[in-house]
Structure 1
Amino acid sequence: MNDAGQRRYGPLGRALVIIPTYNEAENIEPIITRVRAAVPEADILVADDNSPDGTGKIADEFAVGDSQVHVLHRKGKEGLGAAYLAGFRWGMDHGYGVLVEMDADGSHRPEELPRLLTALKGADLVLGSRWVPGGRVVNWPKYREFLSRGGSTYSRVLLGVPIRDVTGGYRAFRRETLEGLGLQDVASQGYCFQVDLARRAVAAGYHVVEVPITFVEREAGDSKMSRDIVVEALWRVTAWGLQTRANRVLGRKRP
């Protein structure tokens, strides 16, 4: 257990923005450009799952002309969680002190990243949150908002985590936080991956801060949301909730 409340936070170190991609050819150029403008001191890692539409090749062209842009080519589509885990390993192997999760479609606005990084100076993990005061979504149909709010509420109540936006994927981690989460045991994907990391951070005693963001629905490309992702999140969160209650009865502290 980490006594985050008494920790004296040190320098953040170099930041790496990890952008997982699969068929994001229309979005990868603008998102890289915006990240470089918003946080010019940060590096970018595009973790591409062998996109058939040539996303990886476009990212390679950026990397040739910009030493702060890197590309991790993966064998195929293995899911969001696997892509982020590969990106985390790459970033930690290359000495980064801060690792950021960001979608490729522009829904996570790079212009808000400086506020997340500022908040990380006094936290172990910062979440860009749609469901705290000041947060909002733009151009979402009502069913998507209901699904996201409902998923976060269900996860928060069942798992007992004091986080309003448990499923959100715009996050900034300290390296030390990721090292303490037991990433080798993480097998979840999609929204469920985000819930898994959040519950692990809370259970380990890390100081988690939510910063309000404006989430903008993608304008180009196809959403990766699917029925399978929703079903996985439902059964995994339910199983974790039952496990959490059993652990409390038995006096265990870890998830």
Structure 2
Amino acid sequence: MMIISVFGLTEFAIVEKLSDFEELFPRLRLEIESNFPEIRVRLSPGRSRPADWEDAVAPAADWIHRKLGDHAFSDTGQTMPQVVGALLAERHATLAVAESCTGGLIADMLTDVAGSSDYFLLSAVTYANQAKINVLGVSDQTLEKHGAVSEPTVGEMARGARHIVNATYGLATSGIAGPGGETHGKPVGTVCIGLATPLSVAGYRFHFGGHKRRTNKQIFTLTALDLLRKELLAR
């Protein structure tokens, strides 16, 4: 069996993208299951296991990756934190995290992985604006002009977290998990994610709709880790 882990697509979207699978690979069985906030695509032999299972599954897996693009992030059933951790370790890189709306969930997921102390250096849950200023060095002018949920603010948060422990990367989140708390242009489900690297600092904005608070926090967390994953793969 092969398990391909996917993030950033709905089950319906995956089903649509892989609708030709049975016709193209009749000897294999494909199953799609939710492991929220990730989705798993399982490949297994049909009724009778082909003698050349490995030869049969390789082109099928390649086809799935082409269909799903960089939303498919593992062929071994690894979770996003496991994949990100492995990429950091392979590159001898380290990470510091500053969290607001995710409330420490990024750190929790990363430290669930054995050996994470090799690359995970710091978690700062700076929920209040004053904590962002005092702990991370975020400018009060940035907060006043752009607000806590903004690309400039999370960029400064990520940079500050990185500098505190001289980490290779800094990752930061600030968003509106709900219920309530929305402002003009920033509805519930909005998250800004900051990423600081040795070469640059950037902030990104995403919107995921009005899910429940816990659901939003999980989606925000995986989105931040996925952003870091893509950065690591580009290096």
Say yes or no: TM over 0.5.
Answer: no
The higher-RCO structure (CA 8 Å, 6+ apart) is 1
Larger Rg: 2
Structure 2 length-normalised TM: 0.29
Structure 1 length-normalised TM: 0.27
